[in-house]
A and B are shown apart, each in its own frame.
Chain A
């Protein structure tokens, strides 16, 4: 099993005065090449969970095994090669004086040849929709959306088998958001990367992920194919989430149009379904 999380429990400042139980009783198995969406209200444990995937946090109890590597062990080099995490506001981690140096930083640490580094930097840039003209610029003179993409490229250049993104589009406008999601989709498809995407945007998770894990109060509340998650809005509302607008509309329309398919959560599908029921 590529990702195997068993009986995971995590407590912040364990034994200290600010002790806080963040995760308990988490059991998740993930296969190669899956596209997983993780949702949950703020403070539900999403970010804590993903920080266990490359050993930044170690389980207080239970275990996390990634491709056979137990994250509790001391040597984490191989683990971090396999799991790339893009954190919230990744542009705050840019620090070099040129884009090229920033993206190459991780590759240099891996001791790759200059040629290989050059090639990987360029392909990572292309995979987030940027081109070579940006390489010698300072990351700090770029726009917010460009910085975000450079930061993502820095992780993609490491060619991780598992790519984890924590709210990669927070603060981006809708077109910037669609672009970033487009690139993530391509990375998933072209390199068969396992993608784990944490997002608040139900609409986007619905479009992208095949499987959705819903977190609530530090535990797994639902773990289902995405279609099934969105058609149960009352279950989601109970824990402070909501379904896409379309889901609510279709449920209400069911009361006046009994034949309508109510299990729909995208605009495209709703247009098709409603055309059948409305006169032109």
Chain B
């Protein structure tokens, strides 16, 4: 595996230009390597620095200290910015801020058009992307008449059509219903497995986090937990003290364990929980 994102001892602070200029620190000496083809979920409470972290990964922000390399390219070098942004596409939380065209399909076509993709190829990619996120039937509708969740799918389709090597989603599922979220995650997993696209997904939903290969938890501008979902969610008390949640079945089994029931490994899914209880009943 090759390292795709290499974050080396990075610090970042936002500058506020009031009467007295102040620096508000957001990340403090953070280092992380993310491999090509990884599916990483980033968790952390509001204001923990996780969005800042994701923005450093595609050169929307550049570190005040330290370096970020994307596929070997330094984000602080302006000549690299175009390459980096077409390598790592980003979907934001609020779709209203990123939809620009008057019909859904035109909006999805905007990205590939700007990359100079052939028109026949654009047509194909737009149709595929809309199909993938399940909104083909609205392709000629005006985006502003769609619901919040539908708009969010349009935004995701817009990035898919650009076929980037990496997709960064900054709470892009926050407006979707549970099944819509599951579908989007399924799509991401498929892109990840079949096309080896690296996924960085920021979310507050623990069920989505449970499906990642790796979880990074950020708090107060530092990485505080980093491991597989199993490893991270086993620290139920720690995770809760960070203002986060664990999946319902994990919490259930943790509570039962505290009551003295013999449970070794905490589950993340309904299937795992069922198997554990089945073994106990026998």
Please list the residues of chain A having a beta carbon within 8 angstroms of any beta carbon in chain B: 12-13, 18, 20, 39-44, 47, 88-89, 141, 143-145, 167, 170-177, 200, 202-203, 237, 240-242, 244-246, 248-249, 252-253, 256-257, 267, 270-271, 274-275, 277-280
Contact = CB atoms under 8 A, between A and B. Distances in A.
Given A143-B46, A171-B174, A202-B178, A43 B281 contact: no
A167 B175 contact: yes
Given A144-B47, A175-B243, A42 B174 contact: no
Interface string B174-210: 1111111010000000000000000000001011000
Nearest to B135: A43
Contact of A43 (B150, B245, B249, B274): B150
B178 A200 contact: yes
Contacts of A145: 46-47
A271 B248 CA distance: 11
B245 A200 contact: no
A143 B47 contact: yes
Interface string B132-154: 00000000011001111110100
B270 A252 contact: yes
Interface stretch (B1-9, B157-165, B253-261): B253-261
B227 to A, nearest CB: 19
Contacts, number: 132
B177 A47 contact: no
Given A245-B207, A271-B259, 13 more contacts: A41-B149, A41-B180, A43-B147, A167-B175, A173-B45, A173-B243, A242-B178, A242-B179, A245-B248, A245-B249, A274-B256, A275-B259, A278-B280
A141 B47 CA distance: 12
A47 B47 contact: no
A55 B150 CA distance: 24
B259 A241 contact: no
A175 B47 CA distance: 12
Interface of B: 16, 44-47, 93-94, 141-142, 145-150, 152, 171, 174-180, 182, 204, 206-207, 243-245, 247-249, 251-252, 255-256, 259-261, 270, 273-274, 277-278, 280-281
Q: Which 3 A-B pairs have the closest CB atoms?
A: A42-B149, A175-B243, A173-B45
Nearest to A203: B248
Contact of B252 (A13, A42, A256, A267): A267
A272 to B, nearest CB: 10
A256 B278 contact: yes
A247 to B, nearest CB: 9
B175 A18 contact: no
B44 A270 contact: no
A249 B178 contact: no
Nearest to A246: B248
Nearest to B183: A240
B177 A42 contact: yes
A257 B281 contact: yes
A253 B271 CA distance: 11
Contacts of B142: 18
16 contacts: A20-B141, A41-B177, A143-B46, A171-B204, A172-B46, A173-B204, A174-B204, A174-B245, A175-B243, A176-B45, A202-B178, A245-B247, A267-B252, A271-B256, A280-B259, A280-B260
